[in-house]
Structure 1
Amino acid sequence: MHKSITILVLCLFFCLVLSAENPYKGFEDIIAALDKDGYNIVKVAKYKKSRGALAYHRTAVNYETKKPKQLFYLEGNAFEMGYLTGVLAHEDVEITCSKFIDGVLTDFLNGDVGTGRRNFILEIVKTWLKEGVKSVRPDVPQEYIDEMKGMVAGCKKMNLKTEVSVSKLLMVNVGFDCILSRYYTLDFSNIYGIKPEELNAPVMCNDFSVFGNATVDKKHYFGRDFMFPTGGIMEYRLGMTVYNPTDGRLPMVAVNCPGMVGSVTTMNSRGVGMAVDNLPGNNCNPKRVGINSIMMLRHVTHRATSARHAVDIMVDVPRGVSWLYFIADGTNDEAVVVEGGATMDKMDFPAFANQDFMWLQMLPNSTFLNNHENQQHRKGLTFRWNDYKYPQEFLKFNADMFNYFEKREHKNMWSTRGYVNKNYEEKNCPLYYFFPPQRENKDDVLIMTNFSIVPSMRLCGMNPWTVNVYAKRYDDMQWRYDELNVQILDSYGKIDEKKAIEIIDYLAPYKKFPHYYDKIKSSPDGKTKIIKGAVSLCNMTDRVIHSHVGYYADGWIKATLDNYLSKK
């Protein structure tokens, strides 16, 4: 009797389950796309006719927390995509808004600075942040304000007591532009009594593009190593977001985390990808910061149908901070490094440099630039395309600079396979006061680290204050560029997707330089290091992006953009 009742109850239970509405009904196409990329869908949301989904990777988890890597799929207009983000990840958005800024700001100060001094400097920087965010808001395109408003509404839907606000989201997305516009340009020693050695300069990024004869399969690969303070947030929450707008903008995939409207790496449905790297320069405008860095990537990638189109869009965007942008175009097999700063109709490049060296004629003046510079300048931007040819006349200034700083101009230093520093511990750069040539002499290879190569733009980084703040970084910037160049040349003609991933991951502790990251934070058990940002490889031909985030022991994740764009 009891057995019959039990069977009856179980039958009734399963009938009720089967008759209940499937929460994933209408998401079958998204589930199929996620499955192909190794994800399982775990949460969905709908707003009006738009869909959002959160998925966890089946095998890639965070080494410390064991939480799976995540991918978001969002569709709709700006407000709707923001709202869906809030509903799907309100707790992550809350944490990003409350802890990310403070965490990263701490990394901008030298670890030896005492507590009292640290708090004093942090209060100054936070004041800049609040003032800058307020002034930059009018320049933020309305669609991103709408997205932030939607995110706030979604978070409130899930938690009426949420402290997420548009102001806080703006701080996350444009705050560092506001800080760096002053960090690069103001002599703190005269204004606040702050010494350069009290500041820490986070400048570590690497990028490359290879295609044509460089690759064995003739595909276009765009490698991007985003090395930036994580603030104790990004190593746990960085993942990918697929944006599928319904308002006319192009679909794209981004490497970011909930609360970041901007992106650190992007790739759109037309095969255009972008990255942004720090570029210390004096060509900034703290009074009008404008749109830069991660917000610039999101804005341009949603619109650009080619690298040429992307450049045109950037020219017309108000900017106030010096940054490097890498643009890869897998449809037309082109790539360009945009060396940029504040929007300016005309630029007096020598005026940005060390005037003592200008007076001693150790740096090129305007006449020399006019006679030998071969780049077009558009509103404060210069462009180093994949077929760029470096004007060799600028190398003549290097001898005096190396002698002045008692450095050595060794044999073959400026050759295609040359090194200024033969290893990452050597200190042979005369700070930033020299003109390194572009190493790449093949039109299907382009490389970028954290410095300008175009001579006129290089002068913008030769301001004494900027140079003093970043004095400890210049050797590393140059060495990373030189080493990346040699690794690509060693594999030239044999690069496929696997090899391209190996190359962009060249600084990982399990590769050729196991001690490069010895000073980076380890996991609690000391067995692996955190990834300071994200290492990504974009197959621009097939529109597939692979990323490594969290810890170096973690698995890689990927997103195949086209799979998420099919019709239901």
Structure 2
Amino acid sequence: MMKNQRKKVLSLSLIGLLMVTSLANFVQSASATSIISYSPDGKGYLEELISGKYLMHLEGSPYEMGFQQGYLDPISVSRLASDDWMREVVLNMLEADDWILNLVFNEVLSRSRLENVVGNVVSDEILDQVAAASGDSIDDKLYKLLDLCHVLVEYNTRYVPQAFLDEIQGVADGATAAGVPVTYEQVLLLNMGMDALLALAYPVVEPLLWLIDLFAFLSCSGFVAQEDATTDGHTIMGRHWQFTSYVTHEEMIMMEFYPDNGNAFLSTSCAGFVGVTSAMNDQGLGIGNDMVPAQDCDPANFGMGTLLTARYVMQYTNQLSEATNFIINNVRGCSWIYGIGDGRNGETGGVALETSAHNYRVRNMGYTRPWWAIFSPNPIEKKDDLVTYTNHYIYYGMANDADSTAIKDSKSRYEWLTNEALTMYGNIDLEQGFELIDYLHPPSYDYYGDDLTQPVGAAVTCWDLTSLEAKALFGDYDDTAIYAAL
């Protein structure tokens, strides 16, 4: 090659390099404008997806991810990891007149009952302190209940992987380092306390449900659709986390976890939660957990609780059978229905895993009630590539074994959701799946009235478990939905 030709080529290469570098810098600069803040180690960050809606990125060791979470959004951690928030959860859960609340609390905190259900793990001195006493107000009893939950949560940490406890410590330390003091015990209660609380209360409340739907406004809905139910054979999963909007709707974000060990996963959540309520991992697994009141509970040994159980599934299991087997074989003390979907690993599909402390059933897609089980609920999906679930057991015999009542509210929502799914059958993708799981969006069914300025309680999410994409709505019902992906 002649010298001047070589110089010409080098010049062109240099120009190309400068153009590529400038483009990269532009892209980096454009991307950086949406980053609100970084954690001190530079690994975690808070990104604004659209105006007022955020994604938190966490990566590293358990403690590092926890510290990043607490540091990046300490206000959320302090607002949720508090007795005040747990108090509001209980009051939202038991929407009833004071005389009913007093009846429930007196029974839940009866000294003789407590000795029977948790006396093997709680000292007599503590039982004396938390037992209901004459003259106690509703608030007195509520805070006694939370004090007992703190004790039960601490005892049940023996069932929690150390990595999760390290992460919880990191959350508390990160928030404190950011100038908002939070204790390890409060973050622990946020992540495990719901199981302690419900396992104590369910056996008392469940026998009353034939009279009053005490849990009507603290519930959940979900579905998994695949193959012929969807437009392109993808596995689509919907999850409406129907929970108290108190504080939660103001703090809800998307969170993506990239741990040093295990799967990456994306969750619709709030800072403070190490566990998950609705999530999808990079193996194509999705999970959600629905309340289901049952008397078959063990508050003394409830294990790691539903939030950390779902987190374990996301981080450490890769396909549907692994996920269901882990939950089945793990220590359980509270009743839950787990919606699990698989979109990538040869076991595509979904289940409604119905559990209590000592019983479980796996309701697969296409489940039909045996002809002779006429006293068990009859599923109405009638498709072998669709499963829907709300807050009551459907698999035959499960309600009897767990001592559970199917409340009217749950049965109505199950029928509405399933009928909507059957109407959309064959056309479900991420967009239509989101419309489906948002089936209670005001003014639909007049469930939440017609006011669009009201809070979403607490998040509506659709996951495409095949393409690893998500669409979610949180905040207020007239807010814009956001998109995210792994």
Q: Normalization by structure 1: what TM-score?
A: 0.70
1:337 to 352, 357, 364: 352
1:392, 1:437 within 8 Å by CA — same for their partners in 2? no
SS at match of 1:553: coil
Structure 1 gaps, min length 5: 1-24, 60-67, 345-379, 398-434, 468-472, 562-568
SS at match of 1:531: coil
Residue deviations 1:44-93 (CA, integer Å, cap 9, x gap): 1243xx6001012323xxxxxxxx11110000010010111122112221
2:173, 2:182 within 8 Å by CA — same for their partners in 1? no
In the TM superposition, residue 122 of structure 1 has moved relative to its aligned partner by 1.2
1:256, 1:263 within 8 Å by CA — same for their partners in 2? yes
1:181 correspondence with 2:199: yes
SS at match of 1:302: helix
Residue deviations 1:218-249 (CA, integer Å, cap 9, x gap): 2211011110113x211100111100011x21
AA partner of residue 155 (structure 1): A
1:264 correspondence with 2:277: yes
In the TM superposition, residue 128 of structure 1 has moved relative to its aligned partner by 2.9
1:227 correspondence with 2:242: yes
Change (3 A) 1:478 1:554: same
Provide the C-alpha distance between the structure 2 equivalents of 1:324 and 1:499, rounded to a whole number of angstroms: 24
1:292 to 302, 305, 327: 305
1:207, 1:504 within 8 Å by CA — same for their partners in 2? yes
1:281, 1:460 within 8 Å by CA — same for their partners in 2? no
1:447 to 388, 398, 417: 388
User: What is the match of residue 552 of structure 1?
Assistant: 477
Provide the C-alpha distance between the structure 2 equivalents of 1:454 and 1:547, rounded to a whole number of angstroms: 30
Structure 2 gaps, min length 5: 1-23, 103-135
User: What is the match of residue 369 of structure 2?
Assistant: 390
AA partner of residue 361 (structure 2): T
User: What is the match of residue 209 of structure 1?
Assistant: 224
Show the 5 A alignment for 1:370-449. Answer: 380-395=359-374, 397=375, 435-449=376-390
SS at match of 1:495: coil
SS at match of 1:455: coil
User: What is the match of residue 143 of structure 1?
Assistant: 163
User: What is the match of residue 402 of structure 1?
Assistant: none
In the TM superposition, residue 487 of structure 1 has moved relative to its aligned partner by 1.3
AA partner of residue 287 (structure 1): A
1:450, 1:477 within 8 Å by CA — same for their partners in 2? yes
In the TM superposition, residue 204 of structure 1 has moved relative to its aligned partner by 2.2
1:129 correspondence with 2:149: yes
Show the 5 A alignment for 1:79-228. Answer: 79-98=63-82, 99-113=84-98, 117-159=137-179, 162-186=180-204, 202-228=217-243
2:257 to 218, 232, 243: 243
Provide the C-alpha distance between the structure 2 equivalents of 1:268 and 1:83, rounded to a whole number of angstroms: 21
Change (3 A) 1:188 1:529: closer
SS at match of 2:171: helix
User: What is the match of residue 124 of structure 2?
Assistant: none
Alignment RMSD? 2.7
* Percent of residue pairs identical: 27
1:45 to 31, 39, 47: 39
User: What is the match of residue 417 of structure 1?
Assistant: none
AA partner of residue 445 (structure 1): L
Provide the C-alpha distance between the structure 1 equivalents of 2:327 and 2:317, rounded to a whole number of angstroms: 10
Change (3 A) 1:295 1:336: same
In the TM superposition, residue 527 of structure 1 has moved relative to its aligned partner by 5.4
1:282, 1:460 within 8 Å by CA — same for their partners in 2? no
AA partner of residue 437 (structure 1): N
User: What is the match of residue 478 of structure 1?
Assistant: 411
In the TM superposition, residue 299 of structure 1 has moved relative to its aligned partner by 1.1
1:264, 1:294 within 8 Å by CA — same for their partners in 2? yes
Show the 5 A alignment for 1:448-527. Answer: 448-462=389-403, 467=405, 474-510=407-443, 512-513=444-445, 515-518=446-449
Change (3 A) 1:205 1:156: closer
2:63, 2:168 within 8 Å by CA — same for their partners in 1? yes
AA partner of residue 387 (structure 1): G
SS at match of 1:487: helix
Change (3 A) 1:483 1:200: closer
AA partner of residue 181 (structure 2): E
Provide the C-alpha distance between the structure 1 equivalents of 2:466 and 2:207, rounded to a whole number of angstroms: 50
Provide the C-alpha distance between the structure 2 equivalents of 1:91 and 1:78, rounded to a whole number of angstroms: 21
SS at match of 2:458: strand
In the TM superposition, residue 495 of structure 1 has moved relative to its aligned partner by 2.1
User: What is the match of residue 276 of structure 1?
Assistant: 289
Residue deviations 1:366-423 (CA, integer Å, cap 9, x gap): xxxxxxxxxxxxxx3221111323212111x4xxxxxxxxxxxxxxxxxxxxxxxxxx
User: What is the match of residue 409 of structure 1?
Assistant: none
AA partner of residue 221 (structure 2): N
Give the aligned length.
Answer: 423
Change (3 A) 1:493 1:110: closer
